[in-house]
Amino acid sequence: MTDDCILIVENELILAEDLSLTLKELGYEKYQITSTGEDAIAKVTHEKIGFVLMDIKLDGQIDGIEAAKQIQSFSDIPIVYLTAFSNEDLLTRAKETMPYGYLLKPFRSKELKAVIETARYKFEMEQRFKIKFKAMESLARKRKGADEIVTICCHCKKIKDPDGTWEYLESYIESHAIGKCSHSICPICAHGLYPEYYRDE
């Protein structure tokens, strides 16, 4: 179904193995299992992980919420929490990490599939938005200074950039505006430069 590797972070080995079998049945062929938050952080850092199913209660020095926080400091991959706990304090801490979803144990395979597909769709939409936003930022930077005075050489018509370099008109337009340049000749120049072609006009 996907080439992305799903990381299962679960400290109960039997549950982790059961979860991996469920993922296989759902079509997710690539997965890894770990039982600590520290190892989860290391795997996301050094390996190609595309999705994390994170239990909140883990072995090691940090729990799943702290592991998620640290992962989010350098990666935006989707993280879904797996937990048997639903107390308010725990959920408040978990919400602060803005996860892509929750699964309360025990859960059925249909619920697992739904939360993974929903999280992946949300992630994809966010990535598309980021690309569009960056494009808009780039366009805004190009348009910035449209109302500023532009220095043009009165002889060769090159344009002076703010950094002091001189650019050909075409290069300046293409780097500061939308689209590309094409070349033609206006009627006045055509008559002045090539009068033999316009004697009858």
Check whether residue 30 and residue 106 sit in a common domain. Answer: yes
Q: What is the pLDDT along the chain (201 residues), one digit of tens a residue?
A: 455 799 999 999 999 999 999 999 999 989 999 999 999 999 999 999 999 999 999 999 999 999 999 999 999 999 999 988 767 788 888 888 889 988 888 888 999 999 999 998 889 888 888 887 777 766 666 666 555 677 887 767 778 877 788 887 777 777 765 556 666 777 777 766 666 666 555
Q: In total, how many domains does the chain have? A: 2
Check whether residue 122 and residue 182 sit in a common domain. Answer: no
**What domain range is 157 assigned to?**
151-197
Check whether residue 164 and residue 91 sit in a common domain. Answer: no
Check whether residue 97 and residue 167 sit in a common domain. Answer: no
Burial of residue 107 (CB within 10 Å: 0-12, 13-18, 19+) is middle
Check whether residue 122 and residue 43 sit in a common domain. Answer: yes
